[in-house]
Amino acid sequence: MKELYINARGMQCPGPIMQLHKTLKDAEPDTEVVIEVTDSGFKKDVQAWCKKTKNELVSLNEEDGVIIAKIKKKS
């Protein structure tokens, strides 16, 4: 299974969710993507994004101000 990576560190809202959208738009179902974000709003945003776009939030962690989310494409 393919795993993609997005470095969205330093990017401000709405940059990170736009990157997610672009990356997963043309990806195969079940593709996993790991995104690293420093925008503190992203922790809630990624949950809202996944819920709305019906993708699966596999994991969500924060280390030293960096939010790391793993998302699996479902829709």
Question: Is residue 50 among the annotated active site residues?
Answer: no
Classify the phi-psi angles of 12: left when phi > 0, otherwise alpha if psi is within -120 to 50, otherwise beta.
Answer: beta
Partners of 9 in the β-ladder: none
Contacts of 36 (CB under 8 A, 6+ apart): 6, 7, 8, 9, 66, 67, 68
Any contact of residue 37 with another protein (CB under 8 A)?
no
Q: How far is the CB of 46 from another protein (least distance, A)?
A: 11
In the set 2, 7, 14, 40, which binds another protein (CB under 8 A)? Answer: 14
Of 29-37, 48-56, 65-73: span binding another protein (CB under 8 A): 48-56
Of 4-12, 29-37, 58-66: span binding another protein (CB under 8 A): 4-12
